[in-house]
Structure 1
Amino acid sequence: MADANTNTNRNSPAAAPETLPAASSSLAVLQANIARLSPLKQVGLLLMIALSVALGVGIFLWSQSPNYQILYGAISGEEKGEVVEALQKADIDYKLDNLTGALMVPASQVHEVRLQLAMEGLPRSAGTGFELLQQNPGFGVSEFLEKARYQRALEGELARTISTLNNVKSARVHLALPKRSVFIRDRKAPSASVVLDLYAGRMLDPGQVAAITHLVASSIPDLESAGVTVVNQRGDLLTQPERSQTLEMTTSQFEYTRRIEEEYGHRIQRILAPLVGADKVRAQVVAEVDFTITEQTQERYEPERRALRSEQTAEEERIGGLFPGGIPGALSNQPPNETQVPETFNGANEGEPQPSEPPATRSLRATRNYELDRTISHTRLAPGSIRRLSVAVLVDEKLATGAEGNINTLPRSPQELEHITALVKEAVGFNQNRGDTINVINAPFVSNEELEPLPPPPFWQQEWFWETVKQGGGILAVLFLLLGVLRPTFRRLTTVPEPVTVSSLPKDSHEEELKEDQLTLSSNTPTLQLSGPDSLEANLAMVRKMAADDSERVAQVVKNWVSRDG
């Protein structure tokens, strides 16, 4: 009977208000609560905990991982292997991009890593320079190998130099150096070929191509610029030797014309600035320059300005009989002309006979050579003479203060415009004969609004912001998993359930259960009539009495309650 009473006290509703004994530790309570769950719920709980922990660790590691930047893009596989080996020796983190194959390192170490690799001569895409000659060639090296090493070193140095130019990613140089001969007629001119690998979307202008050709030609003895061929990675020929000289002349002519126009424009602005203001005049000059090369040779004679160069005189006198002379023929056979004999002779008597003189012949011949005044002139007109000038000058209106104190603009008078035009003509050397034109216009200038400085980029476009968001988002995600998922779950699992009392049950359900239990207990015990729902204390007293009378039956009812609630 004592045992029955003990069992009755353990399972009777009177003991329900008493709480269960507390667990020895939270772990024991956790194990007990997990044990109450169904196997499916236990597996789901374990998966949720494992997934939360893995997700939290992954987010934390992602937020703390550094940003990677490209170290080297398109390099050969052999060079990439050498670089990776050097990075592994230096204990530097790296990764390879699966899409582009680029080698990437942490952004904060890019420049330092490049410097370290450059000290080791990596990558070797630029070729080997004169350091190749410093290597020990060993014994038994022939002259041919020595020349080949020197040529290879020279090609590497030229490739390095060309690779430093803008828009050039890498370069390769091939030299064709013929063997020198002691005979001049057997000597052959060297040549060179340059292959350029340009950056994507970049191009070289003709001036840069000409600079590369002159650079290579100046580095090799006896190499002319026409012997250098430059090709890009697409196979396009960048050098055109047959047109290089013409292109060079055209470029120099354009630069010469531009300098003339700028000089005339500066002259106009300098002379008008004190008169109208430094910012109130604009001048534009267009010059037509004649680049024709003219050569002329002129030979001129001055007949009036003559000089005696040489003179020859021959005088001949004959005294004696008459005989034909001269060139044989009809003229020499004619009789001489009649001569008149004077009738009287001074100093002699008329009756005395006069002596007769033999006839005389005298001839005088003179030959004079004169040198005419001759002038030969050779004139070569240098190119670059100005053929025509077109000048346009825009002058701002002058400022005037109105009656109300506001500032207005007034057009300039015709006299002022005439003075300005005269100054412009003198500044540019106006020549009406060659067709120069000058146009001076007075118009108000549009005021230039002060340009506001560019606003700084918003904070969400700065690198530090996204780095902070990355780390902060990772921390918040981990905290959410810890505080919002794992903590409530463990709290429910480690919480001791509160004891259930009869008074805490709903009134309707309590009455129904009492009716069912009454029917159950009425099999072997006398029927007890329970009072109405308004007398709860009476019902409790009746239940206590029933537990005292038939404790086993009451214990069975309580077990049914527990199994039904669980």
Structure 2
Amino acid sequence: MSAITPLLQRLPPPARIASALRSEAVAKLLPVVFLAIAITALVMMFVWQNQSNYRPVFGARESVPAADMMSVLDAEGIAYRLHPETGQVLVSESNLGRARMLLAARGVVARLPEGLELMDKSDPLGVTQFVQDVRFRRGLEGELVQSITALEPVKSARVHLSIARSSTFVLNATQASSASVALHLHPGRELEAEQIASIIKLVSGSVSNLAPDRVTVVDQAGRLLSSRVDIKAGLDSTGFANEAQRKAQDTLLRNAHQLLQPVLGANNYNVSASVELHQDSVKETQERYEGDPRITSEASREELSRQPQALGIPGSLSNRPANPPPAEGEPPSTAERNAATRQYAYDRSVTTIERARGQVKKISVAVVLNNAAAPAGASAWAPAEIARMEQVLRGGLGIDTARGDQLVVSAMAFPAPPQAVAWYAEPQSVFTMAGWGLSALGALLAYLLIARPLIRRFTREAAAPREVGTSELLELGPRGGEGAAAPAGALPPGSAAVAALPQPERPAGQRDSMGSLLENYNLPPPGSPVDVLVDHLKDLATKEPERVAEVVKQWVQKNGHQPA
């Protein structure tokens, strides 16, 4: 604080600073200062606008040789800049399209990774199998990148393959092959479920023994896209269900609007619909047997044998005597055998039903009617009219009671619609009017601070100065004790306020002495405005304060007032 005090003491007093600011030199310098500030601001705005209009020719992740780009732009005379952080080549927005066309014509475009063209290179002697395998893998990755970037939402891609080595022995089989895909999508674009599944199928089908479930797909935000896809169905397990449900609800709402809007009007009803879908695919086989059985084939067999039956032990001779013959009158022994085979068949029907997921399970619809839209000008809806409207909606929306669908129709009083906001109260209108107001204020300040002082200065200098004699100048002074006004010819026209001052008469000697004090001063010509006269008097008082004080002192003395 002690070091600052001497510095503060050296500063000029505030009165002196204010007097310096009110001086004519500062008044003449202010318009020039304001004009310089305005020109500097305009130049800075132009430079900033010019810098902000530079755009990159190619993206940051696109592989483009910068040296070739700069050589082409230099040859065509197109101004360019280099981004200090990313090193991208920037050109003005007006020349962006022309620069891209010229670069494309000269063959300077974004280079994609090389594919199997790598295999066309001649290998020197002694190249190992490992080097050839790596080159093949890189070529296959490049081919997959070129195929994936052909999709419209994909801006760029990278593919990493881990190909398992095949082995003749089962026990020596290594880990299965796998793949990873990193996608960089265009701003605002998203991949649908079918597109994600197609990328997985594309990669898995390009590598032998690569299962689709071992392919990982991510985007530039780090989201695991492959986890949202059902590989077997090729659809998003959760997204497909939500999309199908949304479409079903939109269809119901659209049908309801088509039924109600022509009759009630757009603002006289509200509809809410909810659809529940089956999320499982079901395959069902039914087999039925109907009616009484019928004989399709029948076979019968009868055998009768009258030969005597063999006795004894088979395969051995009997040491017994032969059997005695049968007595007369006794019938011989016989053998009889009957067999019947019948085949029966029923009426048989086999039915196989396969239900895909997404089938409608249940529908719930709620409709609220406005009492103000009741028919025949009634104050509320009658139950019969509500039942009639419900019947129409059941037929139009496909409500099935056996399936468990629900439809509720009720009538209520709707609140009055809000009044429209005036145009001047809208936020956009407020911002527009504020912008116009600021522009008008800026124009007014520019006129008052820059244009008007310059106009006044040029007008004052353009006016022809006139040498005023001492006798004419002294007519501004007092002329006698009676305070009579000066004649009209003594002052320029328009200076009635100055002419009204008391003007006592003075001796000729004193007039000469006062004239010698105020000679060689240019006064404004006759007819000058009052503010011009006042400015000249201020200028005179600023330049010669002692001499002006002497004149005023003589005026006071001759008017009968002696200074103390």
TM-score normalised over the length of structure 1: 0.51
The secondary structure found in structure 2 opposite 1:240 is helix
| CA gap 1:292/1:375 in 2 versus in 1, 3 angstroms | farther
SS at 2:330 equivalent: coil
Structure with the greater relative contact order (CA < 8 A, sep ≥ 6): 1 or 2? 1
Distance in structure 1 (CA, Å) of the matches to 2:448 and 2:81: 30
Match of 2:236 among 229, 248, 270: 248
Determine if contact 2:474/2:514 at 8 Å carries over to the other structure: no
Alignment counterpart, residue 312 of structure 1, candidates 265, 287, 301: 301
Instruction: Name the residue aligned to 1:171.
Output: 156
The CA distance in 2 between the partners of 1:376 and 1:487, in whole Å, is 115
Mapped to 2, the partners of 1:109 and 1:50 lie a distance apart of: 38
Q: Which residue of 1 aligns with 2:146?
A: 157
The residue number in structure 2 matching 1:357 is 329
Deviations 1:373-412 (A, max 9, x none): 36776554322565544444445555456xxxxx555413
Secondary structure in structure 2 of the residue aligned to 1:248:
coil
Letter in 2 for 1:414: A
| 1:369 correspondence with 2:353 | no
SS state at 1:210 partner = helix
Residue 505 of structure 1: how far off its partner (Å): 7.0
Q: Look up the match of 1:91.
A: 77
Q: What is residue 409 of structure 2 aligned with on the other side?
A: 440
RMSD: 6.7
Cα deviations across residues 100-143 of structure 1 (Å, max 9, x unaligned)? 9876554444444444445556663x63679x979x98999999
2:55 is equivalent to residue 71 of structure 1:
yes
1:230/1:441 Cα in 2 relative to 1: closer, same or farther (>3 Å)?
same
1:293 aligned to which of 282, 290, 295:
282
Give the counterpart letter for 1:196 in structure 2. L
1:412 aligned residue (376, 382, 390) = 382
Distance 1:493 1:276 in 2: 81
1: CA distance between counterparts of 2:36 and 2:393?
86
Q: Which residue of 2 aligns with 1:519?
A: none
1:237-292 CA-partner distances (Å, limit 9, x unpaired): 3322885547635544555555555556666676x569956857747353453735
The 2-side partners of 1:229 and 1:105 are apart by 38
Tell me which amino acid in the other structure corresponds to 2:354: A
Deviates more, 1:360-369 or 1:138-147: 138-147
- Matches of 1:357 and 1:297, distance apart in 2: 68
CA distance in 2, matches of 1:196, 1:266: 37
Looking at structure 1, the residues matched to 262 and 442 of structure 2 have their Cα atoms a distance apart, in angstroms, of 66
Task: Give the deviation of 1:293 after TM superposition.
Answer: 1.9
* Aligned mates of 1:262, 1:539 — CA distance in 2: 107
2: CA distance, partners of 1:488 / 1:127 = 68
1:60 and 1:474 in contact (8 A); partners too: no
1:158 to partner: Cα distance: 3.8
Q: 1:428 aligns with which of 374, 395, 398?
A: 398
SS at match of 2:143: helix
2:196–2:229 Cα contact (<8 Å) kept: no
Aligned to 2:193: 207
Which one-letter code corresponds to 1:440 in the other structure?
A: V
Q: Structure 1 residue 296: deviation in Å?
A: 4.8
* Mapped contact 1:74–1:101 kept (Cα < 8 A): no
CA distance in 1, matches of 2:443, 2:81: 22
The match for 1:536 is 507
Shift of 1:364: 2.7
Contact 2:137–2:161 (8 Å) recurs in 1: no
Question: Measured at CA, do residues 69 and 243 of structure 1 come closer, stay the same or move farther in structure 2, by a change above 3 Å?
Answer: same
1:283 & 1:241 partners in 2: Cα distance?
A: 29
Match of 1:230 in 2: 217
Give me the whole-angstrom Cα distance separating, in 1, the residues matched to 2:333 and 2:62. Answer: 120
What amino acid is aligned across from residue 310 of structure 1 in structure 2? Answer: A
Give aligned pairs, total: 437
How far off its partner does 1:314 sit? 1.2
Which of 174, 179, 183 is matched with 1:196 structurally?
183
- Mapping for residues 254-269 of structure 1, pairs under 5 Å: 254-257=242-245
Q: Flag structure 2 segments of 5+ consecutive residues without an equivalent.
A: 1-22, 315-326, 478-503, 516-543, 549-564
TM-aligned CA deviation for residue 360 of structure 1? 4.2
Superposed, which structure 2 residues align to 1:8-23 within 5 Å?
none
Show CA shifts across 1:14-38 (max 9, x none).
Answer: xxxxxxxxxxxxxxxxxxxxxxxxx
Note the C-alpha offset of 1:437.
3.5
Identity %: 17
Specify the alignment match of 1:239 in structure 2: 226
Inter-partner Cα distance in structure 2 for 1:213 and 1:437: 42
Give 1:467-486 correspondences, 5 Å limit: 484=453
Question: How many Å apart are 1:539 and its aligned residue?
Answer: 5.4
Q: Alpha carbons of 1:86 and 1:421: their partners in 2 closer, same or farther (altered >3 Å)?
A: same
Amino acid at match of 2:302: T
| Residue in structure 1 matched with residue 501 of structure 2 by the alignment | none
Q: Which amino acid aligns with 1:536?
A: P
Kept in 2, the 8 Å contact 1:392–1:438? The answer is yes
SS at match of 1:421: helix
TM-score by length of 2: 0.52
Report how far residue 317 of structure 1 moved.
3.5
Aligned to 1:439, what secondary structure does the other structure show? strand
Provide the rounded CA distance (Å) in 2 between the counterparts of 1:96 and 1:103.
Answer: 5
Q: Tell me the distance in 2 between the aligned counterparts of 1:541 and 1:264.
A: 110
Question: How far is 1:210 from its partner?
Answer: 1.5
Q: Structure 1 pair 288/357, CA: closer, same or farther in 2 (3 Å)? A: same
Give the C-alpha shift of residue 366 in structure 1: 0.5
Deviation, 1:191, is 6.0
Residue 90 of structure 1, CA deviation: 3.7
Do the aligned residues in 1 keep the contact of 2:294 with 2:346 (CA within 8 Å)? no
Change (3 A) 1:542 1:310: closer
CA gap 1:269/1:474 in 2 versus in 1, 3 angstroms: closer
Instruction: Please tell me whether Structure 1 or Structure 2 has the larger radius of gyration of its CA atoms.
Output: 1
Matches within 5 A, 1:15-164: 58-59=40-41, 61-62=43-44, 67=50, 68-72=52-56, 75=60, 81-82=66-67, 83=69, 86-94=72-80, 105-120=91-106, 124=110, 127=112, 151=140, 154=143, 157-158=146-147, 160-162=149-151, 164=152
